[in-house]
Amino acid sequence: MSDSGNPEVQGTKSTPGSAVGLSPGLSQMAQVNRLADTIGDFMEYWGFKSIHGRIWTHLFIANRPLTGQELTRRLVVSKALVSISLKELLGYKVIILDRSNGRKVYRVNPDTAEVILEVLKNREYVLLSKIETEFKNLRELQGFQPDARLDVQQIQALGVMVSSARDALKNFISSNNVPINLVDFFNFRT
């Protein structure tokens, strides 16, 4: 969807790596969208979708919870993309769904520890479990007789590394406790 028809966001660019700097003539909302695009690029680097970061930015700096329709207008994207992305962000507990005057509104989850634990549980732990499964599949393959191109000791070391990482992450998640200094670092709202 083109942003040229929306004067609120004219001048925004959605291309990763676009020039950074003050652009004379941009409206405040256009500059907010440039910021949201950049935060989206950053979150994409960490395994989320760019749209997740863009939505999160608008919700974080808004003076009140926003509807999906408001996010669609502000971001100049399709209703379907916003809807799917909101469901994904709700799944990670990054945002919270409320109701206001009978309408669904969204806001950023202020409990940073909950967000971190939920992402670790539903993304990183799942990925480590998949790695562990594939490692076990390798070991069970034909009685695990590696050919000359593989180092048996390194394969065993990899197995220990994968199991240790999964166990450490599982223990961290089950402790339900994110170190207070990490939470304080990410709790920007007062």
11, with CB counted inside 10 A (0-12, 13-18, 19+), is middle
Task: Give tens-digit pLDDT for 73-117.
Answer: 999 999 999 999 999 999 999 999 999 999 999 999 998 888 888
Q: How far is CA 14 from the centre of its chain?
A: 18
The two tokens of residue 52 are: 């997740």
Cα gap 129→132, rounded to integer Å: 5
Query: 180: how many CB neighbours lie within 10 A of its CB?
Result: 9
Mean pLDDT for the stretch of residues 54-68: 96
Distance CA 173, CA 92 (A): 14
Residue 142 has what pLDDT? Answer: 57
- The pLDDT tens digits of the residues spanning 99-111 come to 999 999 999 999 8
Q: List Cα–Cα distances, 11 to 2, 27, 37, 156, in angstroms.
A: 11, 8, 13, 55
